[in-house]
Amino acid sequence: MNLLFLHPNMPGQYRHLARILGAGGQHRIFFITKHKTAQIPGVTRVTYQIKPPSSPPGHPYLANAEHAIRQGQTVWRVAKAVQAEQNFTPDMIVCHPGWGDALFMKDLFPNARMLSFCEFFYRGTGADVGFEPNEAITDDDLARLRIKNSINLQNLAMMDWGIAPTVWQWSVHPEPFRDRISVLHDGVDVEFCKPNPDAVLTLPGGKTFKKGDEVITYIARNFEPYRGFHTFMHAAEILLKERPNLHIIAIGADEVSYGKRLQPGRTYRQIYSEQVTLPPDRIHFPGHLPYPQLIAMLQISKAHLYLTYPFVLSWSMLEAMACGVALVGSRTKPVEEIVRDGHHGLLADFNSPLDVADKLSQLLDSKTDNEDMRQAARDTIVRRFALNQIMPMQLRLVEEIARGEIPPPIARDILEFSPIEPYQHIMWRP
């Protein structure tokens, strides 16, 4: 089979799928991406770069759509060159279409089947927009959001099938398309992400932590409001004042993945650091850690904090649960789908640093080290998200769609594995 993967940040959600398909050697696989260093054995990476626009931007509502069109056009040209130079026409396109990469693939390869990653569909109410209590949403914001979804609608219309990683993310998509979207996560390697009582973490500065140390951990791709960084910083101030032996490790970067960008030279970490007083020797910002060290950090963590808007769920929360952490999560729909309060972890008010600090203190003060919750958290990930269960279904999904079996027979098994009915309470409602 000829397979084409599209994701600007290779491998993205296809870290496991592309690796396993490439390892067998029986497929020709190309991966078109912006990423210039990622390597997957058996997969040929082809990179692209977006040229700056040659004309001024048009209507402000169209800014996102114009960028997606330029990105899609660039990928189209790269794919056309691969077709001509490598004699390659895909039977199957596996893509994250959110940035526009897949916009023109059905025109270039009309006989190719397409499996799309349906990560999110924006809503004017009931999800991330307007979630902050003091956030003012204007008519312009709503209009811009509607046009932003035009790229998502194009992709939903042309895909043969879709995958959403959680029921919550599935539910925000328009109802007419949901029957063509399976709820199936990319999977967690529960044999790598697991408890380790002998784990040791050494930070770049030389500070070392082990299991049993009073350490709170926090992970976000970038330090920004969507992942509750402001709440985290104020909760950290409360906790570090109350607990003289506490250390806090925060992993992330100072860019913006989601939400409003700041003026050049300013970061959210700068803004919120100016609002709090934190002892620099007990709060640690080591930047991004290599993956094995990141897992070691979770394995030594006394309590882990995960906060998010009603938006996409992070891998880090599931990996933390697989490592058997004692978790405090935000009482928001993506988290509530996975975490039952008091059973898998504790839920706190996203907008209340005091509540977050109180829940973390409860975990730190536990006389049993929260063993029941830690075990329940890991058991849930092993049962619902284990890579060795999910990957065979992903592989069958690719094979059946490539053969033109629409709907794919495996979709019935996927629905039984990740049923929608028990999670009606967390679904988006208009």
- The candidate with the shortest Cα–Cα distance to 412, out of 156, 187, 179, is 179
Helix extents (H) in 24-115: 63-86, 105-108
Name the CATH topology of 200-384: Rossmann fold (3.40.50)
Eight-state DSSP code of residue 3: E
List pLDDT tens digits, range 412-429. 999 999 999 999 999 998
Alpha carbon 201 to its chain's center: 24
What pLDDT is stored for residue 265 in this prediction? 87
Q: What is the overall mean pLDDT for the chain?
A: 96
What pLDDT is stored for residue 37 in this prediction? 95
What is 231-291 written as a DSSP string? HHHHHHHHHHHH-TT-EEEEEEESS-SSSPPPPTT--HHHHHHTT----TTTEE---PPPH
Alpha-carbon distance 305 to 103, whole Å?
A: 37
In the predicted model, residues of the chain with pLDDT beneath 70 are none
Location of each CATH 3.40.50.2000 domain in the chain: 2-186+387-426, 200-384
Query: Which pair of tokens denotes residue 278?
Result: 């934190």
What pLDDT is stored for residue 58 in this prediction? 83
Alpha-carbon distance 217 to 301, whole Å?
A: 6
What pLDDT is stored for residue 296 in this prediction? 98
What kind and span of H or E run contains 140? Answer: helix 139-158
Query: Which pair of tokens denotes residue 109?
Result: 């390869």
Instruction: Give the start-end residues of each E strand in 48-192.
Output: 92-95, 113-117, 161-164, 181-183
List pLDDT tens digits, range 261-288. 888 889 999 999 999 999 999 999 999 9
List pLDDT tens digits, range 303-327. 999 999 999 999 999 999 999 999 9
Q: Say if CB 223 and CB 269 are below 8 A apart.
A: yes
List pLDDT tens digits, range 45-90. 999 999 888 777 789 899 899 999 999 999 999 999 999 999 999 9
What pLDDT is stored for residue 429 in this prediction? 84
**In the β-sheet with 346-348, what is the strand arrangement from edge to edge?**
283-284, 247-253, 215-222, 303-306, 327-330, 346-348
pTM of the model: 0.95
Is 2-186+387-426 a CATH 3.40.50.2000 domain?
A: yes
